[in-house]
């Protein structure tokens, strides 16, 4: 079968479609569905016979996806889950070879463009970022945002993908961004399993899209199960479209159009998708298509068999209602094809899928085989001349005879051979060393690269523009500095938008955006509901579609309500697509000490530990924050900026170039020089440290204060490590719990920056207590590091070093 027949399924929308044309379309569809089914069957067998690690497939969901594909156009988007292979084949966004390449974890993006072998099978993505970091023309391509395995986790992103169309349609200033939209006429298609609609992310997304009225089309693939758990334990009334009926728009209200259709009824499915997507696309009304009576012919995944938990009756029902079987029966009864014709088609399809599978297996297998042989030969060569001859020969022979060897085996064998010959000096050992270092570079690229986009547009490459102050620079509240910075950037770049709770009309709770909605309009500075997860998802989708969103989380403490999207979806996006996708979202929030348990949080360890893939900016004041925003808004990687909650009303000088100067990422700054102890801190705590330093100076103790400014990247010029050469003592101070971000900072300085070699005292941390700070000033004093705490912590280190000069205070 030529590859071209797998491309986008033809539509039924020509008025004068002849019966022959109609037949041809239906038969083509059936072929795609049947091939997809074969891929599922073969894929499962490959896993069960040990040739691939894990398999989850889209069998039983084929026919609905053929119908959905007919409604999908260039410019449209998909955010879906692991059942969608038929849709991907039908639209041409993937094909059988790529399907198998991913099953075999082929790390070559030419073979598995979705993930370069990084994702489990049936995790789809199209590549919309070129190698140089530029965007492809998304208006001309069909677009698939990268899947994640966490069910429901993609829903917030779907909202953003749809919301972008609304902005592109309604904001005429965006017309210049032609490669991202055709006047906002795109639909964002989402798919989700019936069980996963139980997730809060689904409901939050659903409500937000109803409020926003965006072209979002959610299909629920309802097979009545979520692994072993039946619908009655998942969904009220066992019926998601039934319980969502209140969202139906009526009498001019906003809301949804809701459809319910059976997953084996080809004609009804085609009609439903045609109708639903037309409304969605033309009117920007979200739609729900609840596809019921779907099946799982092979059970949930390769992890187990569904005979364990489905009744005999259910299994029989599933067999009888298999969507391809039903489609076949209907095609025969409607004289679209004869039984013999379909038998032939099926035989041909089976052969073709098998060929694709074999080719995909060989493409990786042959390369690995050659690498195994090459490695074994190098080890043989070494064996001739060394004492460990026998062990080396065994390693080489094990390599040659291994059944499912991979690069872990070639590299592992060479590392072992090098250990066994550590005392040898023969030239053949050097050959192995050279091989290993060359392979390490290749394997880093294969398995470890692209946590960030790392392109010329990276914020790390944004030119440094120094801050300029006029002689009569005005002293303003910190919030006004930020306001001026945002104003300048909104004016400069029409693709920047900001949104969040209370961001629009009042310009955020601390007024950083004050007055900007009336100046730039409510499509650019926008209020949202209280829905942190989907605020971030909204930002992610916009960022993937060429806009420059600033998504605001009102307080840092509420970031926890958005962690799923931050950690699972955005942080891993560049990595899991091996640079094929990016979402340069900027998250703005405010935190550290203020008042009460939920308005004083500084959970920096949570962020550092779960959001690698983000830059993490912790400015000590609003001028530094402005410089960081100026950098980030000119770069293409995601970042979070945590402003100091208690800094908005402190006075700062207004820079002349407030919208232009940049604070580079990863550049630590020495705020005060001193020779006794290196004190590293950030954010609000720095002011406490600076105050303590004044008293310490009077006591004859001179600390060096360093502000890393960004925790990720951290101090790329080793400013902290260099300072330790002078002081030999390290104290890290922050407001997080003990062993959290402070432990990360110590690891960076002591290990990465080689600070260990300069230390002559134990590195210390001074942090907040393990509980959250109680309300009130006393609560703060007894929970967060105070000036007294800082002075005493520094003094204690001096006492330890020289008790005669610094006798114990207590
Ligand atoms: C957040 C999350 N929780 C649990 C899982 C484990 N899990 C994977 S698939 C699945 C069942 C999903 O059922 P459903 O949404 O009905 O989709 P189906 O597989 O039936 O198509 C579960 C519980 C997961 N991947 N992610
Ligand atoms: Mg299900």
pLDDT in tens, 608-631: 999 999 999 999 999 999 999 999
Q: For residues 241 and 220, what is the distance between their CA atoms, to the nearest angstrom?
A: 9
381 Cβ closer than 6 Å to some ligand 1 atom: no
What are the residues facing 476 on neighbouring strands?
A: 652
Q: For residues 204 and 369, what is the distance between their CA atoms, to the nearest angstrom?
A: 49
Q: For residues 66 and 383, what is the distance between their CA atoms, to the nearest angstrom?
A: 58
Contact 291, 67 (CB under 8 A): no
564 Cβ closer than 6 Å to some ligand 1 atom: no
Q: Tell me how far the alpha carbon of residue 217 lies from the centroid of ligand 2, in angstroms.
A: 18
- For residue 193, give the ligand 1 atom closest to its CA: 15
Q: Tell me how far the alpha carbon of residue 83 lies from the centroid of ligand 2, in angstroms.
A: 10
Q: Tell me how far the alpha carbon of residue 685 lies from the centroid of ligand 1, in angstroms.
A: 43
Q: What is the pLDDT of residues 767-796, one digit of tens each?
A: 999 999 999 999 999 999 999 999 999 999
User: Quick one: pLDDT at residue 483?
Assistant: 98
Q: For residues 189 and 168, what is the distance between their CA atoms, to the nearest angstrom?
A: 17
- For residue 56, give the ligand 1 atom closest to its CA: 19
- For residue 151, give the ligand 1 atom closest to its CA: 26
Phi-psi group of 470: left, alpha or beta (phi > 0 → left; psi -120 to 50 → alpha; rest → beta):
beta
Contact 64, 82 (CB under 8 A): no
**How many angstroms separate the Cα of 334 from the Cα of each of 324, 338, 656?**
15, 10, 76
Residues contacting 746, CB < 8 A, separation 6+: 730, 732, 763, 765
352 Cβ closer than 6 Å to some ligand 1 atom: no
221 Cβ closer than 6 Å to some ligand 1 atom: yes
Q: Tell me how far the alpha carbon of residue 112 lies from the centroid of ligand 2, in angstroms.
A: 27
Percent of the chain's residues with pLDDT above 90: 96
Q: What is the pLDDT of residues 179-226, one digit of tens each?
A: 999 999 999 999 999 999 999 999 999 999 999 999 999 999 999 999
Q: For residues 188 and 167, what is the distance between their CA atoms, to the nearest angstrom?
A: 13
Counted residue by residue, the chain has a size of: 810
Residues contacting 9, CB < 8 A, separation 6+: 25, 28, 29, 32, 66, 69, 70, 90, 91
Phi-psi group of 329: left, alpha or beta (phi > 0 → left; psi -120 to 50 → alpha; rest → beta):
alpha
- The number of the ligand nearest the C-alpha atom of 300 reads 1
Query: Is the confidence at residue 15, as pLDDT, over 90?
Result: no
Residue 626 half-sphere exposure, CB side, CA atoms within 13 Å?
Answer: 32
DSSP strand pairing (639-644 vs 586-591): parallel
User: Quick one: pLDDT at residue 9?
Assistant: 60
Q: Tell me how far the alpha carbon of residue 357 lies from the centroid of ligand 2, in angstroms.
A: 27
Residue 542 has what DSSP assignment? H
Nearest CA to ligand 1 atom 2: 150
Query: Is the confidence at residue 8, as pLDDT, over 60?
Result: no
The pLDDT of 694-708, averaged and rounded, is: 98
59 Cβ closer than 6 Å to some ligand 1 atom: no
User: Quick one: pLDDT at residue 6?
Assistant: 37
- For residue 227, give the ligand 1 atom closest to its CA: 11
Query: Is the confidence at residue 138, as pLDDT, over 50?
Result: yes
User: Quick one: pLDDT at residue 13?
Assistant: 62
83 Cβ closer than 6 Å to some ligand 1 atom: yes
589 Cβ closer than 6 Å to some ligand 1 atom: no
User: Quick one: pLDDT at residue 12?
Assistant: 72
- For residue 149, give the ligand 1 atom closest to its CA: 25
Q: For residues 482 and 638, what is the distance between their CA atoms, to the nearest angstrom?
A: 20
Q: Which residues of 266-281 are buried (b: 16+ CB within 10 A; e: fewer)?
A: bebbbebbeebbebbb
Contact 59, 37 (CB under 8 A): yes
Residue that has been written with the tokens 């004492």 in this structure: 387
Among 60, 226, 301, say which to mutate for ligand 1: greatest number of ligand atoms within 8 Å of CB.
Answer: 226
Q: Tell me how far the alpha carbon of residue 85 lies from the centroid of ligand 1, in angstroms.
A: 17
The pLDDT of 449-454, averaged and rounded, is: 96
Among 191, 195, 219, 310, say which to mutate for ligand 1: greatest number of ligand atoms within 8 Å of CB.
Answer: 195
Residues contacting 550, CB < 8 A, separation 6+: 486, 496, 497, 498, 499, 539, 586, 587, 588, 629
Query: Is the confidence at residue 501, as pLDDT, over 50?
Result: yes
DSSP state letters, 686-744: HHHHHHHHHHHHHTT--EEEEE-SEEETT-TT-HHHHHHHHH--EEEE-SS-TTSHHHH
User: Quick one: pLDDT at residue 594?
Assistant: 87
Among 54, 56, 87, 196, say which to mutate for ligand 1: greatest number of ligand atoms within 8 Å of CB.
Answer: 196
Residue 754 has what DSSP assignment? -
Nearest to 62 by CA among 87, 79, 25: 87
**How many angstroms separate the Cα of 182 from the Cα of each of 10, 129, 169, 648?**
21, 19, 8, 41
Percent of the chain's residues with pLDDT above 70: 98
Contact 147, 119 (CB under 8 A): yes
The pLDDT of 489-495, averaged and rounded, is: 98
Residue 35 annotated to the active site: no
User: Quick one: pLDDT at residue 10?
Assistant: 65
Main-chain dihedrals φ then ψ at residue 256, nearest 5 degrees: -120, 160
The pLDDT of 10-24, averaged and rounded, is: 79
Nearest to 487 by CA among 294, 678, 629, 668: 629
- The number of the ligand nearest the C-alpha atom of 82 reads 1
Q: For residues 12 and 26, what is the distance between their CA atoms, to the nearest angstrom?
A: 10
Per-residue pLDDT band for 166 (boundaries 50, 70, 90) equals very high
197 Cβ closer than 6 Å to some ligand 1 atom: no
pTM summary value: 0.97
Q: Which residues of 407-444 are buried (b: 16+ CB within 10 A; e: fewer)?
A: bebbbebbeebbebbeeeeeebbeebeebbeebeeebe
Nearest to 63 by CA among 241, 330, 305: 330
User: Quick one: pLDDT at residue 1?
Assistant: 35
225 Cβ closer than 6 Å to some ligand 1 atom: yes
Please list the alpha-helical segments (H only) found in 213-338. 240-243, 266-283, 312-320, 323-333
Nearest CA to ligand 1 atom 8: 151
Per-residue pLDDT band for 3 (boundaries 50, 70, 90) equals very low
If you average pLDDT over every residue of the chain, what do you get? 96
> Is 269 strand, coil or helix?
helix
> Is 386 strand, coil or helix?
coil
- For residue 564, give the ligand 1 atom closest to its CA: 1
Q: For residues 216 and 208, what is the distance between their CA atoms, to the nearest angstrom?
A: 11
230 Cβ closer than 6 Å to some ligand 1 atom: no
226 Cβ closer than 6 Å to some ligand 1 atom: yes
Cα pseudo-dihedral 708, 711, 716, 722, rounded to 10: 40
Query: Is the confidence at residue 2, as pLDDT, over 50?
Result: no
Q: Tell me how far the alpha carbon of residue 58 lies from the centroid of ligand 2, in angstroms.
A: 11
Residue that has been written with the tokens 């950030």 in this structure: 682
Longest dimension (CA), the chain: 102
- For residue 199, give the ligand 1 atom closest to its CA: 1
Residue 284 annotated to the active site: no
**How many angstroms separate the Cα of 751 from the Cα of each of 247, 323, 743, 755, 762?**
55, 58, 11, 7, 14
151 Cβ closer than 6 Å to some ligand 1 atom: yes
Among 120, 227, 567, say which to mutate for ligand 1: greatest number of ligand atoms within 8 Å of CB.
Answer: 227
599, 615, 652, 704: which one is catalytic?
599
Q: What is the pLDDT of residues 271-316, one digit of tens each?
A: 999 999 999 999 999 999 999 999 999 999 998 899 999 999 999 9
Residue 250 half-sphere exposure, CB side, CA atoms within 13 Å?
Answer: 5
Q: For residues 253 and 256, what is the distance between their CA atoms, to the nearest angstrom?
A: 9
What are the residues facing 229 on neighbouring strands?
A: 226
Q: For residues 146 and 576, what is the distance between their CA atoms, to the nearest angstrom?
A: 8
The secondary structure of 96-127, three-state, reads: HHHHHHHHCCCCCCCCCCCCCCCCCCCCCCCC
Query: Is the confidence at residue 58, as pLDDT, over 50?
Result: yes
196 Cβ closer than 6 Å to some ligand 1 atom: yes
> Is 174 strand, coil or helix?
helix
């Amino acid at each position: 079968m030529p590859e071209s027949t797998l491309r986008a399924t033809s539509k039924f929308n020509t008025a004068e479609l002849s019966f022959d044309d109609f037949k041809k379309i239906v038969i083509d569809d059936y072929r795609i569905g049947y091939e997809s089914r074969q891929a599922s069957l073969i894929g499962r067998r490959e896993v069960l016979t040990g040739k691939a690690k894990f398999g989850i497939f889209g069998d039983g969901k084929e026919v609905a996806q053929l119908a959905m594909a007919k409604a999908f156009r260039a410019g449209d988007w998909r955010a879906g889950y692991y059942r969608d292979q038929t849709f991907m084949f039908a639209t041409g966004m993937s094909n059988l070879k790529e399907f198998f390449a991913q099953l075999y974890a082929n790390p070559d993006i030419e073979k598995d463009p979705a993930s370069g072998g990084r994702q489990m099978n049936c995790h789809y993505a199209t590549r919309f970022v070129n190698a140089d970091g530029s965007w492809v023309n998304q208006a001309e391509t069909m677009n698939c945002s990268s899947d994640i395995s966490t069910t429901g986790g993609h829903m917030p992103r779907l909202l953003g993908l749809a919301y972008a169309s609304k902005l592109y349609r309604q904001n005429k200033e965006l017309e210049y961004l032609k490669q991202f939209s055709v006047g906002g006429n795109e639909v964002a298609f989402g798919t989700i399993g019936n069980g996963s609609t139980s997730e809060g992310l689904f409901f939050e997304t659903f409500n937000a899209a109803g409020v926003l009225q965006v072209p979002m089309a959610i299909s629920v693939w309802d097979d009545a199960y979520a692994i072993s758990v039946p619908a009655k334990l998942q969904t009220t009334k066992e019926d998601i479209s039934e319980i969502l009926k209140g969202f139906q728009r009526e009498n001019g209200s906003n809301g949804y159009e809701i459809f319910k259709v059976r997953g084996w009824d080809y004609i009804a499915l085609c009609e439903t998708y045609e109708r639903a997507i037309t409304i969605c696309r033309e009117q920007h009304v979200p739609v729900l298509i609840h596809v019921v009576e779907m099946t799982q012919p092979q059970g949930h995944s390769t992890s187990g068999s569904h005979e364990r938990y489905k009744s005999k009756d259910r299994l029989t029902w599933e067999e009888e209602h298999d969507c391809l079987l039903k489609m076949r029966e209907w095609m025969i009864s409607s004289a679209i094809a004869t039984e013999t014709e379909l038998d032939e088609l099926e035989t041909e399809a089976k052969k073709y899928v098998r060929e694709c599978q074999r080719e995909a297996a060989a493409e990786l297998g042959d390369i690995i085989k050659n690498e195994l042989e090459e490695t074994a030969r190098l080890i043989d060569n070494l064996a001739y001349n060394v004492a460990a001859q026998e062990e080396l020969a065994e390693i080489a022979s094990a390599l040659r005879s291994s059944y499912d060897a991979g690069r872990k085996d070639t590299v592992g064998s060479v590392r072992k051979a090098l250990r066994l010959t550590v005392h040898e000096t023969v030239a053949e050992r050097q050959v192995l060393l050279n091989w290993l270092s060359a392979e390490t570079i290749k394997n880093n690229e294969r398995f470890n690269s692209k946590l960030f986009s790392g392109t010329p547009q990276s914020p790390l490459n944004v030119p440094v523009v120094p801050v300029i102050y006029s002689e009569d620079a005005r002293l303003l509240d910190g919030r006004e500095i930020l306001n001026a910075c945002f104003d300048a950037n909104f004016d400069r770049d029409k693709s920047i938008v900001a949104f969040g709770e209370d961001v629009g009309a009042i310009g955020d709770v601390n007024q950083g955006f004050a007055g900007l909605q009336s100046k730039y309009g409510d499509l650019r500075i926008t209020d949202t509901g209280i829905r942190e997860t989907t605020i971030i998802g909204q930002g992610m989708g916009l960022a993937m579609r060429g806009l420059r969103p600033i998504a605001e989380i009102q307080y840092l403490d509420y970031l926890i309500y958005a962690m799923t999207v931050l950690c699972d979806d955005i942080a891993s996006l560049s990595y899991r697509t091996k640079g094929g996708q990016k979402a340069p979202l900027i998250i703005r929030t405010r935190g550290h000490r203020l008042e009460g348990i939920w308005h004083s949080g500084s959970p920096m360890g949570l962020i550092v530990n779960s959001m690698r893939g983000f830059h993490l900016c912790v400015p000590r004041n609003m001028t530094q924050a402005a410089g960081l925003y100026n950098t980030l808004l000119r770069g293409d990687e995601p970042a979070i900026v945590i402003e100091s909650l208690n800094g908005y009303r402190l006075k700062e000088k207004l820079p002349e170039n407030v919208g232009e100067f940049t604070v580079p990422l990863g550049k630590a700054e020495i705020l005060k020089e001193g020779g006794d102890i290196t004190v590293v801190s950030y954010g609000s705590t720095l002011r406490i440290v600076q105050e303590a330093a004044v008293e310490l100076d009077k006591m004859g103790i001179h600390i060096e204060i360093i502000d890393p400014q960004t925790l990720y990247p951290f101090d790329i010029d080793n400013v902290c490590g260099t300072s330790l050469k002078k002081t030999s003592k390290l104290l890290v101070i922050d407001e997080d719990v003990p062993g959290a971000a402070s432990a990360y900072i110590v690891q960076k300085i002591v290990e990465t920056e080689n600070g260990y070699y300069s230390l002559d005292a134990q590195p210390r941390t001074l942090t907040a207590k393990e509980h959250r700070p109680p309300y009130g000033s006393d609560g703060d004093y007894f929970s967060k590091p105070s000036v007294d705490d800082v002075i005493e912590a520094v003094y204690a280190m001096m006492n330890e070093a020289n008790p005669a000069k610094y006798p114990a205070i207590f």
